[in-house]
Amino acid sequence: MNSIIMSFENVTFTYMQEDESVKPAVNDLSFSIQDGEWIALVGHNGSGKSTIAKLMNGLLFPQTGKVEAMGKLMSEESLWDIRSQMGMVFQNPDNQFVGATVQDDVAFALENNGVPHEEMVVRVKEALQQVKMADYLDHEPHHLSGGQKQRVAIAGALALRPRLLILDEATSMLDPQGRMEVIETIRELRKATGLTVISITHDLEEAALADRILVMNAGEKQLEGKPDAVFRSGNELTNLGLDLPFSMRMTHLLREVGIELQGEHMTEDELVDELWTFYSKK
Amino acid sequence: MDILLQEVGYSYAKDTPFEKRALTDVSLHIPSGSYTAIIGHTGSGKSTVLQHLNALLKPTEGSVMIGGRKIEAGVKAKNLRDVRRQVGIVFQFPEQQLFDETVLKDIMFGPLNYGVSEEEASRRAHELVEQLGLPPEVLTKSPFDLSGGQMRRVAIAGVLAMEPDVLVLDEPTAGLDPRGRREIMDLFHRLHIEKGLTTVLVTHSMEDAARYADNVAIMHNGRCVVTGEPVEIFSNEEQLRDYRLEPPRTIRLQQKLEDKMGIKLDSISLTEEALAKNIALALSEGRDSE
Amino acid sequence: MMEKMIFGRFIPGNSLIHQMDPRAKISFVFVFIAIVFIANSAITYGILLGFTLLVVFLSKIRLYFLINGLKPVFILLIFTFLLHIFFTREGDLLVDIGFIKIYEEGLRQGIFISVRFLVLVFITSILTLTTSPISITDGIEVLLGPFKRVKLPVHELALMMSISLRFIPTLMDETGKILKAQMARGSDIGSGPVKDRIKAVVPLLIPLFVSAFKRAEDLATAMEVRGYRGGEGRTRYRQLNWRLIDSLSLVVLVGLAGILVYFRV
């Protein structure tokens, strides 16, 4: 299936429109996301990423242009139907945990959508298994690590069996271990279900795993393409306040000290391989 | 100023059904003028140790020497203000502590509490705002009107304004974007050198610990299990993994490279720049030997 | 001091009392409060005390923790006791040291009131110690169910309660953290003259408010995105389960009332 699950068409949004000195947070933005894709939306803090997230779930509506999701135009009428088909995980693990325990929290969206009790029990278990938190049914949020809380939030989204999962800076407040847990969970989910994922992030290591990257700057789309193509633009990213993945940073540093590497390396292994070829040619 | 923890034990909510042991028999020396990194996975006791460094927590066993001041388990400690002025702590997400009407007042809060004069406090605030790369206009703004990154800097300025001898940093870059992270860490390193501070960095980032620290302590299950120089600590991959830590990426890459090429680089690379230089050196030597 | 307080806290476990339905436990406590007033003699108060200790025993909460955790309550208890001893002037004079005169009736009343106070505090503490706050909320929501007819927003109240309960530990942690951060900046609520202490509250309260508002905003967004639109059309994940033991507990209570009435003077 190759249908479009989310699209922005010339979308512009300005906070405090009446004040003309305020620049639009999102300016004439167009993109579309296919069913089954993993898209990373990257940009430094203040590049318009969080406004895009709010436009995606109907917390904000565009002033010009249109947003379409699940084949419907985003409007007051279609809003709840669209929301029931997408899950969203936010930045702060504490501020989105509604339930008193893990299982209550996962059930929250199901309760809201009037899912019958027997069905809920099955779905809650299933969703928690998918994020490997099935042993924590009765745990309270303050006894969980940040990574665990975010996985519970993902389970809460999955329980609704959504077509789209949006991660809005979901890893930015976590420690490295928590970040790994969440990224690993998403990778496995993708492998198992092919769920469409939009991750909004400033972590390019995370973005490198996506099928496609959209780079935002000052409310506008700066770059778009497959990760290796985007990373090849090197300095342009660094100038935007973003950091290249480690192996690419190393490639650049090696060039600076006079090692004429040919490729741009997305992984450490590729870099090691070229260095080895380089070395053995001598 | 030296800080010395001797056989420190600490339990939260002691003598209740909720008692939770956080530290056991921790002995740790933070030499004056050092840049010490305390590493360990989440829940290893890092932040509990940190709060002992300026007597926010008092040990339930053992003792803590902070400069000339001894804080002992079971002994009432009075008048800790001096200790707290000398040891400044930048907590995780420090922007949460901002409260005053203007940035200027907020930065002056600490120094004024410790009896510094208005003029002096204001002078420090002006100086720090500049040092931290903030535009001078922010001084008259409300801290709540600033961006997240700016708020973080203002909060840091608020701690630096007390002119502490020891600066304790708890994950100071958490939640910042990559550029912000690098700028803040470089700033702390500069201050460490210029002001001759003793710096203690509590971090999850092995890369930051490797790049900046000259002394490293590993915490694990409430114990301080290893202390040493970064080179020894980070080259011992097996030991790091025992304590559920990953070696810094530079060292992992160096090892991959060494295994593949069957060579040994000159030294352990603690930073990316050092690794690049080491590789260049090895490659040019390879060339020379032909 | 605060961390030793166990009044209103929950200690997880799986004792008989823990397993009871919250509706049964809440009803039990209310009925018990009424029954306590039946007692009026040494025997009846003795029975009440014995019954209460039995409940404590069944809950498997260690008496030591209970007594240790309720220390502040005991101060109040001793105060009431003394009040009765000194101000009741009936019956035989037992002690007469100058201005202190203790009468038999005063002593009796003092002891009775103290026992009454003690069993009430123990039983209500056992309720909260053995029932998770969320279960209490569930129980209250169901018990208040009939009031929906008179337009009492029972669902909203219960949700508010459960979210507040859920955020208590988070906000406690945060209070501790901000308090420490400000202490590190030389502000100290715990010492100095009263004027300074009051001044020291501001740097604590403002950040707390700012953060609580931010959390509330985030939470509202998260709830809305997860499809929350009020109680209408919602189903319930948490189901309460009334079992034989719950009915039995209420029967036991009726029995207790009967015994008390029988031995009443």
Question: What backbone torsions phi and psi does residue C229 show, to the nearest 5 degrees?
Answer: -135, 35
Are A221 and A28 in contact by the 8 Å Cβ rule? The answer is no
Q: Is the pLDDT of residue C205 over 70?
A: yes
pLDDT of residue B19: 83
User: Considering only CA atoms, which of B165, B193, B171, B185 is closest in space to residue B85?
Assistant: B165
CA distances from A203 to A43, A45, A163, A172, A188 (A): 9, 11, 24, 8, 19
Residues forming a β-bridge with A148:
none
DSSP code string of A141-194: GGGS-HHHHHHHHHHHHHTT--SEEEEESTTTTS-HHHHHHHHHHHHHHHHHH-
Same domain, B124 and B214: yes
What are the residues whose beta carbons fall under 8 Å from the beta carbon of B26, sequence distance 6 or more?
B5, B7, B8, B9, B45, B49, B62, B219, B222, B223, B224
Give the confidence band of C1 by pLDDT, cuts at 50, 70, 90.
Answer: very low
Q: Does B204 touch chain A (CB under 8 A)?
A: yes
From the list A256, A273, A279, the residue facing B276 with the nearest CB is A256
Q: Is the pLDDT of residue C4 over 80?
A: no
Q: What is the mean pLDDT of residues C216-230?
A: 91
Q: Does C211 touch chain A (CB under 8 A)?
A: no
C chain contacts of residue B17, beta-carbon cutoff 8 Å: 6, 11, 62, 65, 69
Same domain, B231 and B282: no
Same domain, B114 and B196: yes
Same domain, B114 and B34: yes
CB contact under 8 A, B256 and A257: no
What subunits touch chain B, counting only 3 or more CB pairs under 8 A?
A: A, C
Give the confidence band of A1 by pLDDT, cuts at 50, 70, 90.
Answer: very low
Same domain, B113 and B180: yes
Q: Is the pLDDT of residue C98 over 80?
A: no
CA distances from B165 to B53, B159, B216 (A): 12, 11, 19
pLDDT, tens digit, 9 for 90 and up, residues B86-112: 999 999 999 999 999 999 999 999 999
CA distances from C114 to A149, B182, B273, C40 (A): 46, 64, 75, 13
CB contact under 8 A, C202 and B81: no
pLDDT of residue A282: 60
Question: What backbone torsions phi and psi does residue A24 show, to the nearest 5 degrees?
Answer: -60, 140
- Nearest-angstrom CA–CA distance, B18 and B6: 26
Per-residue burial over B96-106, b = 16 or more CB atoms within 10 Å of its CB, e = otherwise:
bbbbbeebbbb
Are B225 and B44 in contact by the 8 Å Cβ rule? The answer is no
**Strand ranges inside C52-170, DSSP E:** 93-97, 100-103
For residue C76, the 8-state DSSP code is H
Domain positions in chain C are 2-131+241-263, 145-225
Complex ipTM: 0.88
Tokens 């299990």 belong to: B225
Q: Is the pLDDT of residue A65 over 80?
A: yes
Are A75 and A66 in contact by the 8 Å Cβ rule? The answer is no
Rounded to a whole number of angstroms, the distance from the CA of B16 to the nearest CA of chain A is 18
Q: What is the mean pLDDT of residues A56-66?
A: 93
Helix count and strand count (H, E) for chain A: 11, 10
Q: Does A117 touch chain C (CB under 8 A)?
A: yes
| Closest alpha carbon within chain A to C168 | A142
Q: Does A97 touch chain C (CB under 8 A)?
A: yes
CB contact under 8 A, C225 and A57: yes
CB contact under 8 A, B261 and A202: no
Q: What is the mean pLDDT of residues A249-275?
A: 86
Rounded to a whole number of angstroms, the distance from the CA of A148 to the nearest CA of chain C is 16
User: Considering only CA atoms, which of B282, B1, B3 is closest in space to residue B164?
Assistant: B1
pLDDT of residue B290: 43
- Nearest-angstrom CA–CA distance, C128 and C124: 7
A chain contacts of residue B43, beta-carbon cutoff 8 Å: 145
Same domain, B280 and B148: no
Question: What backbone torsions phi and psi does residue B221 show, to the nearest 5 degrees?
Answer: 45, 45
> To the nearest whole number, what is the mean pLDDT of chain A?
90
- In this predicted model, which residue has the larger pLDDT, B35 or C95? B35
> Which C-chain residues 116-145 have CB contacts (< 8 A) with chain A?
132-134
User: Considering only CA atoms, which of B17, B43, B70, B29 is closest in space to residue B244?
Assistant: B43
From the list A100, A101, A116, the residue facing C235 with the nearest CB is A116
Q: Is the pLDDT of residue A101 over 70?
A: yes
Interface test with C, best of A98, A102, A124, A168 (most C CBs within 10 A): A98
What subunits touch chain A, counting only 3 or more CB pairs under 8 A?
A: B, C
What subunits touch chain C, counting only 3 or more CB pairs under 8 A?
A: A, B
Q: What is the mean pLDDT of residues B196-217?
A: 94
Q: What is the mean pLDDT of residues A226-236?
A: 84
> To the nearest whole number, what is the mean pLDDT of chain B?
91
Q: What is the mean pLDDT of residues C11-23?
A: 90
Q: Is the pLDDT of residue B17 over 90?
A: no
Q: What is the mean pLDDT of residues B198-202?
A: 96
Rounded to a whole number of angstroms, the distance from the CA of B50 to the nearest CA of chain A is 17
What's the total number of domains in chain B? 2
- Nearest-angstrom CA–CA distance, C227 and A102: 18
| Closest alpha carbon within chain A to B255 | A272
CB contact under 8 A, C186 and B81: yes
Q: Is the pLDDT of residue C122 over 70?
A: yes
pLDDT of residue B265: 86
Rounded to a whole number of angstroms, the distance from the CA of A161 to the nearest CA of chain B is 30
Interface test with A, best of C141, C155, C159, C166 (most A CBs within 10 A): C166
Please report, rounded to a whole number, the percentage of residues in chain C having pLDDT higher than 90.
40
C-alpha radius of gyration, chain B, whole number: 21
Are A50 and A59 in contact by the 8 Å Cβ rule? The answer is no
pLDDT of residue A228: 85
User: Considering only CA atoms, which of B222, B206, B158 is closest in space to residue B26?
Assistant: B222
Q: Is the pLDDT of residue C53 over 50?
A: yes
CB contact under 8 A, A96 and C228: no
Q: What is the mean pLDDT of residues C217-239?
A: 88
Q: Is the pLDDT of residue B280 over 60?
A: yes
Are C208 and C178 in contact by the 8 Å Cβ rule? The answer is yes
Q: Which domain holds residue B263?
A: 248-290
Give the confidence band of B180 by pLDDT, cuts at 50, 70, 90.
Answer: confident
DSSP code string of B253-275: HHHHHHHHHT---SS---SHHHH
pLDDT, tens digit, 9 for 90 and up, residues A113-148: 999 999 999 999 999 999 999 999 988 888 899 999
Question: What backbone torsions phi and psi does residue A215 show, to the nearest 5 degrees?
Answer: -100, 125
| Closest alpha carbon within chain B to A253 | B276
Helices (H), chain B: 46-52, 81-86, 103-113, 118-131, 148-160, 178-194, 206-212, 230-235, 237-242, 249-261, 272-288
Q: Out of B230, B247, B264, pick the residue that ends a domain.
A: B247
